[in-house]
């Protein structure tokens, strides 16, 4: 589950228990954080009533480290920089620790509720969905049709802006092309997004959150000799009362090349209950319908349940399971995992 309003990340940076302060002097603060993440999982796949196939594995589950620098330039005016690298499992070796990639790398300026960040980062669309409660096995729209997500939520080269006043945050972003050859088949040309989130306290221990976002992307389609346009509208709602939190979100994505288009209608519900300060249970359900040219349609349902337990404020263990079902292809994927994260 992502919680990536950059302003909240900067606030958390100042008081995070999961990062070590390397330097703090004359208005400059440098923190080093990260986590080691391991997962034991068992999965099986079944297509059109054929016998299930699958395997068990112990793997690196996205272990990472990051450095965040913040300089206080004047009263309520600061500059920041953030870099994070991750160890990703390769296709041939899921326990691989040598496959290192940059997850985030950006700089920014902020003050008086405004924040502008530039670089490789999550963009404002990442803040809209409210019902993602997973740690590993998400049930988002990108799982349904080859990564076709409703909203664009990240970019390798973007300018992201947001303004926060009270419980309201509004923002937008512009995404630059990533490929060196911007005329290559499938190349990303440009994109943008706008959105807003609003959180209101109702009473002690109770709050509601509303969110709405829109993104647009242009991609090269040389086969059709026309650009492919992708538009998405997505909204979310969350209600929290003491230890219980429930949420729902959904929207529609449309990818169009000339007269041909693919649509994705998607909805997701989820919730979490903190049984104690250390123990929590959570779950998700999502439903999506993809319609393509020639009236081809694929309907998908996804279910996820999990529980986590804090052995220490910086040590978390969890168990998660997910079932994905594709109606038209009669494909079923089942996976269950036991994970552990150690933060610093």
pLDDT digits (tens, 9 = 90+) for 313-331: 999 999 999 999 988 888 8
- Give the domain range for residue 165: 6-343
Number of structural domains the chain divides into: 1
Write the secondary structure of the chain as one string of H (helix), E (strand) and C (coil): CCCCCHHHHHHHHHHCCCEEEEEEECCEEEEEEEEEEEEEEEEEEEECCCCCEEEEEEEECCCEEEEEEEEEEECCEEEEEEEEEEECCCCCCCCCCCCEEEEEEEEEEEECCEEEEEEEEECHHHHCCCCCCCCCCCCCHHHCCCCCCCCCCEEEEEEEEEEEECCEEEEEEEECCCCCCCCCCCCEEEEEEEEEEEEEEEECCEEEEEEEEEEEEEECCCCCCCCEEEEEEEEEEEEEECCEEEEEEEEEEEEEECCEEEEEEEEEEEEEEECCCCEEEEEEEEEEEEECHHHCEEEEEEEEEEEEEEEECCEEEEEEEEEEEECCCCEEEEEEEEEEEEEC
CATH number at residue 324: 2.40.160.10
Assess whether pLDDT exceeds 60 at residue 67: yes
Q: How far apart are CA 19 and CA 251, in angstroms?
A: 36
Q: How far is CA 270 from the centre of its chain?
A: 15
Q: Is residue 286 part of a domain?
A: yes
Burial of 137 (0-12, 13-18, 19+ CB in 10 A): buried
Assigned domain for 1 exists: no
Give the closest residue to 196 by CA, choosing from 230, 166, 229, 158. Answer: 166
- Res. 197: pLDDT tops 50: yes
Q: What is the pLDDT of residue 15?
A: 43
pLDDT value at residue 8: 52
Q: How far apart are CA 155 and CA 177, in angstroms?
A: 9
Which one, of 212, 215, 220, lies nearest residue 230 by Cα? 215
Residue 184, token pair as written in the block: 């290559």
* pLDDT tens readout for residues 156-170: 999 999 999 999 999
- Confidence label for 14 from pLDDT (cuts 50, 70 and 90): very low
CA distance 236 to 211: 5
Nearest to 100 by CA among 83, 88, 84: 88
What local confidence, expressed as pLDDT, does residue 279 receive?
98
Confidence class for position 2, pLDDT limits 50, 70, 90: low
- Pick from 52-61, 251-260, 302-311: least confident: 52-61
Q: For residue 269, is it within any domain?
A: yes
C-alpha–C-alpha distance, residues 190 and 213, integer Å: 17
Q: Which range is least confidently modeled, 30-44, 89-103, 251-265?
A: 89-103
Q: Which residue has the higher pLDDT, 304 or 183?
A: 304
55 is a domain residue: yes
pLDDT above 90 coverage of the chain, percent: 68
The pLDDT score that the predictor gives to residue 4 is 55
With respect to residue 53, please indicate whether it lies within any of the assigned structural domains.
Answer: yes
pLDDT at 17 over 60: no
- Tell me the whole-structure pTM to 2 decimals: 0.89
Q: Which pLDDT belongs to residue 11?
A: 42
User: Mean per-residue pLDDT for 69-79?
Assistant: 94
pLDDT band at 119, cuts 50/70/90?
very high
Q: Do 106 and 81 contact (CB within 8 A), yes or no?
A: yes
pLDDT of residue 314: 94
User: Does residue 237 sit within a domain?
Assistant: yes
Domain-located, residue 138: yes
């Amino acid at each position: 589950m992502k919680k990536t309003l950059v302003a909240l990340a900067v606030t958390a940076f100042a008081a995070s228990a999961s990062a070590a302060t390397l330097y703090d002097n004359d208005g400059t603060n440098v923190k080093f954080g990260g986590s080691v993440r391991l997962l034991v999982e068992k999965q099986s796949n079944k297509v059109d009533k054929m016998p299930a196939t699958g395997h068990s594995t112990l793997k690196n589950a996205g272990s990472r480290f990051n450095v965040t620098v913040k300089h206080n330039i004047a009263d309520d005016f600061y500059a920041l920089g953030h870099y994070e690298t991750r160890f990703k499992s390769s296709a041939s070796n899921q326990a691989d620790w040598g496959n290192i990639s940059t997850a985030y790398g950006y700089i920014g300026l902020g003050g008086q509720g405004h924040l502008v960040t530039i670089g490789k980062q999550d963009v404002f669309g990442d803040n809209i969905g409210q019902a993602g409660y997973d740690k590993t096995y998400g049930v988002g729209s990108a799982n349904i049709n080859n990564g076709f997500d409703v909203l664009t939520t990240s970019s390798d080269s973007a300018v992201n802006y947001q303004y926060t006043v009270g419980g309201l945050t509004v923002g937008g972003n512009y995404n630059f092309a990533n490929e060196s050859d911007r005329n290559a088949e499938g190349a990303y040309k440009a994109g943008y997004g706008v959105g807003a989130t609003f959180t209101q306290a109702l009473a002690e221990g109770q709050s509601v959150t509303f969110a709405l976002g829109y993104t647009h992307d242009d991609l090269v389609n040389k086969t059709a000799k026309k650009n492919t346009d992708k538009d998405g509208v997505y909204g979310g709602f969350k209600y929290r009362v003491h230890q219980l939190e429930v949420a729902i979100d959904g929207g529609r994505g449309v990818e169009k090349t000339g007269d041909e288009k693919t649509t994705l209608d998607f909805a997701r519900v989820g919730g979490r209950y903190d049984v104690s300060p250390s123990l929590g249970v959570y779950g998700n359900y999502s439903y999506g319908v993809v319609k393509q040219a020639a009236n081809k349609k694929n309907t998908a349902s996804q279910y996820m349940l999990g529980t986590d337990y804090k052995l220490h404020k910086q040590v978390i263990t969890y168990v998660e399971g997910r079932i994905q079902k594709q109606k038209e292809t009669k494909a079923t994927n089942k996976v269950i995992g036991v994970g552990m994260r150690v933060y610093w």
